[in-house]
Structure 1
Amino acid sequence: MIAENRADHKADTREKLILVAIKMFAEQGFSGVSMRNINSAAGTRNSSAVHYHFGSKMGIIEAVMEKLNEQLRPIFDQVLSGLDERASEGKLQAEDIAMAIMLPFWVLNCTPEYGRYAVKLSARLMLEADNDLKALYNRYMEEPVGRIMDLMAKLQPEKNPHHLKFQILHFFMATISGVSTIDLLDNTPLGDIRFEHSSEMMMVYVFHLARGLGCEKPEYESFDMAFWSRYSGYLGMEPEVEPAADDAITPLS
C-alpha cells in the first residue's frame, strides 16, 4: 500500500510539472523558462523535481510533446482513416482535408485546464524553435502531415508537389496560430469578429483555406501584372538572411 501511494504521488507530481510547463512555455517561451522556474510554479517540495522526473529541460519539453501527441494523434488517426475510405470511394474533397487539419487542434484547444496553453505552445514552436526543438516537433507531426500530403496528392495528382507542400504546411501554421489567438477576436482592427457559434467559425475558416488547397494550378493569366509592376520594387525584396544556426540557438538550461 505504501509503495502504491508513493508511485501515485510520483505520477501526480510528474503530471503537475508537465501541466505547469505547458502553461509557462506557452506564456513565456522556451528560453524564458528554467527548470527552477517550473519547480517553483508547481510548488514542489523538492527543488530538483524536474531534474528527478525528466533529467533536463529538453526532457520535460519531450514529456510535454508526448502529452500533446497522446491527444492529437488518435484524432488525426481516426479522421485520416475516414478520409482514406472517402478517397477509395471517390468522395474526398479539399474541404475534408482542411477539416482534418483543423479539428485535432480545435479539440486540443477545448481541453479543460491546459488546452488553450497547449495550442499557444504549439504556435511558439513555429516561431522560437531551435534545431533540436524543430526535430522534436517534426518527429511527432511527420506522420499525420505526411498522410495529409498523400491524400491531397491523390485528390490532385497534377498539382505542383512543391506548391502542395507549401500550402499544406502553411495551412498547419495558419491553423495553429489562428486557434492560439482565438480569444483576441473581440477586439480587432475590424471590431468584434467573434461568432455566436464556434462551429460556424470553423466552417468559414475551413472553406476559406480549402479553396487554396483545391486550386489545381494558379491562374496567373487572371492576375493583372501590368498594374502590380508599379510595385516591382516591393515584390522583388528578399528577407534578411538568418544568422548561422549555432548563433541563433539559445542553450537549454
Structure 2
Amino acid sequence: MTSAAPAAPPSSRSALAREKLMAAAERLYAEHGFANVSIRMIGEAAGQRNKSAVQYHFTTRDELIQAILTRHAAAIERLRAPMVAALDALGEVSPRERISCIIVPTIEHHIELGTPSWYGRFLAQALVEPSLREYAIRTQLQMPSLRRLEELRRGPDRDPELLAQNAAMIRQLIVHMTAELEADLAGGRADPATAERSWRRLGENLITAVCGLSSALVGDR
C-alpha cells in the first residue's frame, strides 16, 4: 500500500497561494486592465476554490497590486545594487553611466521574466491608476540604489521642478517602451526567439534617448 505524501505545512500552502494569486492578477490586469478584472476572476484564475481567497491573503485589491509592485522592485534592486556599488568605487560618474544603471537592471529583469511576461503592461497601468500611481512611483524612487544614483549626480544646483519633470519624462519613456515591447512579444509582433536581443537593443536605445533628453532639458553632459 502506497502511503499518501505528507501535506505541506500551512505556511507553505499559504505562500504558494499568495504566489498563484499574484501571478494570476498580474497576467489578468496586464491583458484586460484593472477595470475589467474582478477579485473573483483572479481567484478562479489562480485555482482557488475559496471565493474570498484574495481578501484572505491580501485584504484588498490594492494591497494585492502593491505586493506585486514591491516584488518586482526588489528583483530590480537586486540587479542594480552591484552596478551602483561598482560606480561608487569609481568616484567620477558620467551621465551615461548613471543612466545605464537606471535602465539596464529593468531590461535585465524583463529578460529574466521570459516570454510571455506581463510586468511591463501591469506597471504601465498602475502608473496611471489614481489609487495606485503614488505607491507605484514611491516604490521605485525609494529603492536604495536609485537614491544613491541621485547622490552621485554631478553638476550645479538646478530647478527642482525641472528635475522632477525630467525624472517623470524618463520614467514614462522607460515604462511605456518596455510595456510596448512586452506586448509585441506576447502578441507575436516581435519574434520571441530573439526576445533577449530585442530587449537589449531597446535598452541601448533607451539609454541614448534618455541621455539626449537629460542633456537638452537639464544640462547633463
Taking the aligned partners of 1:216 and 1:27, their CA distance within structure 2 comes to 35
Taking the aligned partners of 2:139 and 2:116, their CA distance within structure 1 comes to 18
- In the other structure, the counterpart of 2:209 is 208
Counterpart check, 1:12 vs 2:38: no
Largest Rg, 1 or 2: 1
- In the other structure, the counterpart of 1:110 is 111
Unaligned 5+ runs, structure 1: 189-193, 219-253
Taking the aligned partners of 1:67 and 1:75, their CA distance within structure 2 comes to 13
- In the other structure, the counterpart of 1:235 is none
Taking the aligned partners of 1:196 and 1:141, their CA distance within structure 2 comes to 24
Count of residues in correspondence between the two structures: 206
TM-score of the two chains, using structure 1 as the length reference = 0.69
**Percent of matched pairs sharing the same residue:** 21
Taking the aligned partners of 2:132 and 2:99, their CA distance within structure 1 comes to 26
- In the other structure, the counterpart of 1:95 is 96
Alignment of 1:1-253 (within 5 A): 4-86=8-90, 88=91, 90=92, 92-112=93-113, 116-127=117-128, 129-130=129-130, 132-144=131-143, 145-152=146-153, 155-183=154-182, 184=184, 197-198=197-198, 199-215=200-216
TM-score of the two chains, using structure 2 as the length reference = 0.78
1:102-128 per-residue CA deviation (whole Å, 9 max, x = no partner) reads 12221222233688311211111222x
Q: Residues 94 and 19 (structure 1 numbering): CA distance in 2 closer, same or farther, change over 3 Å?
A: same
Cα RMSD between the aligned structures? 3.0
Give the letter aligned to residue 197 of structure 2.
H
* Aligned-residue offset at 1:81: 2.6
Taking the aligned partners of 1:116 and 1:196, their CA distance within structure 2 comes to 13
Q: Residues 102 and 51 (structure 1 numbering): CA distance in 2 closer, same or farther, change over 3 Å?
A: same
1:228-250 per-residue CA deviation (whole Å, 9 max, x = no partner) reads xxxxxxxxxxxxxxxxxxxxxxx
Taking the aligned partners of 1:8 and 1:217, their CA distance within structure 2 comes to 50
Q: Residues 195 and 168 (structure 1 numbering): CA distance in 2 closer, same or farther, change over 3 Å?
A: same
* Aligned-residue offset at 1:151: 2.7
1:33-79 per-residue CA deviation (whole Å, 9 max, x = no partner) reads 22111011112121211111111212211221222122122223332
User: Which segment is superposed worse, 172-181 or 66-75?
Assistant: 66-75
Unaligned 5+ runs, structure 2: none
Taking the aligned partners of 2:157 and 2:81, their CA distance within structure 1 comes to 26
Taking the aligned partners of 2:56 and 2:115, their CA distance within structure 1 comes to 23
* Aligned-residue offset at 1:200: 4.0
Q: Residues 98 and 210 of structure 1 are in contact (CA less than 8 Å); yes or no, is this contact kept in structure 2?
A: yes
* Aligned-residue offset at 1:172: 1.7
Taking the aligned partners of 1:115 and 1:64, their CA distance within structure 2 comes to 17
